[in-house]
Structure 1
Amino acid sequence: MTDLIDPEVQELLERLADADPGVRRVAVLDFADIEDAAVLPALAQLLRNDPDPTLRAEAARALAGWDEPAVVDALAAALSDTAEVSGAAAQALTELKDPRSGERLLAHAASPDAFISASALRALRELRVPAAATPAFAALQHADASVRREAVAVLGWLKHAPALPLLTRVVIADADTEVRRAAAGALGLAAPEQIASVQAALCESLQDAAWTVREEAASTLGKLRAMAAAAALRAAMEDDYWQVRLRAARALGRIADTQALPVLSQALIHPAGNLRKEAAIALGDIGDAAAVPVLQAAAADPDPEVRKAVRLSLQRLGAPAGVDR
């Protein structure tokens, strides 16, 4: 049988089984140059059984991106290894690409161990395995915030509509800032007929104690083009953080709120250039000719990106770039 194996691969397999851990380590590192699937079973076995935890961690890193069942199972099993090994295995699992690999992680996503559950959910997120909605939905009630954060992300990527009622409660009531922020983003999965059921929670989130949650809520309201949120978004233009004002300005432009002209005009003189640029874009998006004078006044802004945004918005409004002096 060995006659059928490439000599270079055969030599690598022998070094992976060597009694000297230094030889085995170099062999693991050399796998990156060969990347022959025939070596995967030996690497997976080394990950499971090698007595050296540092070498097991190297094996986990070497196996990243391989979707073979034996590899996925070995990486999942390594999530209960030492911190060094489990961390490497968790990162390697995020590089899976085949949804069929994700199906092998479903049971781990429901693990009572918070690290294992969070790691499996993180790996499942971008694989978009429909069945992952079940453990993710249950994990929204998990005591560990890291698990809840990953569960919210999975449901958002899946656009799992049945989770919307619970997500609207999470965005308001969860004790963890990052969970609330993630939930504010995930509510963007709402279909047009569901916007009314989530915008009240998002508007309430514009008053959240954490500015990152307020920022995400404003962004999601803009993505949803939630017209009924216009007043709350105008109020958010007075937020202490310019990052929140920026997202609110973008949202006001998307919903074409003509009543936002005063607050957007005021934003054109804010110290943050990014906010001034977004306000100029929003005024162009709204399309009200009443914005022409304030845009013309901003045509000489010191920031070239702001000047460009002003010029484009004035073009959309059919107005000249400035006034004669």
Structure 2
Amino acid sequence: MKVGIPRTLFYYAYSPFILSFLEELGVEVVVSEQTSKEIIDEGVEDAVSDACVPIKLFHGHVKNLFKKADLILVPRLVSVNKEATFCPKFLGLPDMLENSIPDFNNMLEIRVDTKGKKRELFKICLKTAKILGKGFLKAWKACNIALKSYEEYCQRMQEGALLPLGIESQDKNKDIKLGVVGYPYILYDSYLSLDIIKKLISLGCYVITPEMLPERVKKEESLNIKKLLFWTFSNNVLRASYHFINNRNVDGIIHVTAFGCGPDFIVDKLLELECKEKNIPFLTVTLDEHTGQEGVNTRLEAFVDMIKIKKARKEAAVS
């Protein structure tokens, strides 16, 4: 039995748990190839025209797995905490794929609605294990090992690593620190994000993303936000950004967003207004399947240069 995992959307948030769980069950896991122009084009061919690029991309990654896996995992993500749900396109993803991609008859659809309860998570793991022909004890052991793998992954990210990009550590002594916020399936997909994070590091910046902040730190920012949003990933971006703004522990914030994303449009406006009020340099980089590398590089370089000039003037005034 080979189970295919599309390398996008949920992959960049929960792959340490998913991969560890399936491997511990004794299932062969096949991950789709790295995002490429061909995969995006394949997705655009079948996805509805008004879908955002991450959803189009998911279609392409599913098609990339057609001849490589017996089953392809397509979770119906509903909730992982009590406060919010996922974007409507996440909730309806299995239905979209079933009606958009011809002859897609090997979907492994799993409904994920835990509301933050480990008991509900185990029920989902047990259901998945039974579908794959595994028993209770196997599922129990695999779930616990997967949770440990996920916790270790989160700990390493909080220590400064950017594991999805293959970056084991960063130099924390860099003069410029930037908060780079966005959904994990945009930030950590090198092709889709046009390698924004690596570009910033090459420009001499220390990059901090939402996943590098402890959950406790982000939860504390709830008191500073008048009203949380309805979507899990959006709240994660919002809390991390407010932490950067209120603690002034970064020199600027870059919001990386996908064109056509409704929830992110609200997040971006809130961040723009908050940064303007607190005098924090802010840049929005909007991406879609047509965005060019050189244009993004020019904007990043100009943003970093502006921050360097601002810091130099401030230091000169103090001295």
Question: What TM-score do the two structures reach when normalised by structure 1?
Answer: 0.24
Larger RCO of the pair (alpha carbons < 8 Å, separation 6+): 2
Q: Hey, which of these two has a bigger chunk of helix by percent?
A: 1
Question: What TM-score do the two structures reach when normalised by structure 2?
Answer: 0.25
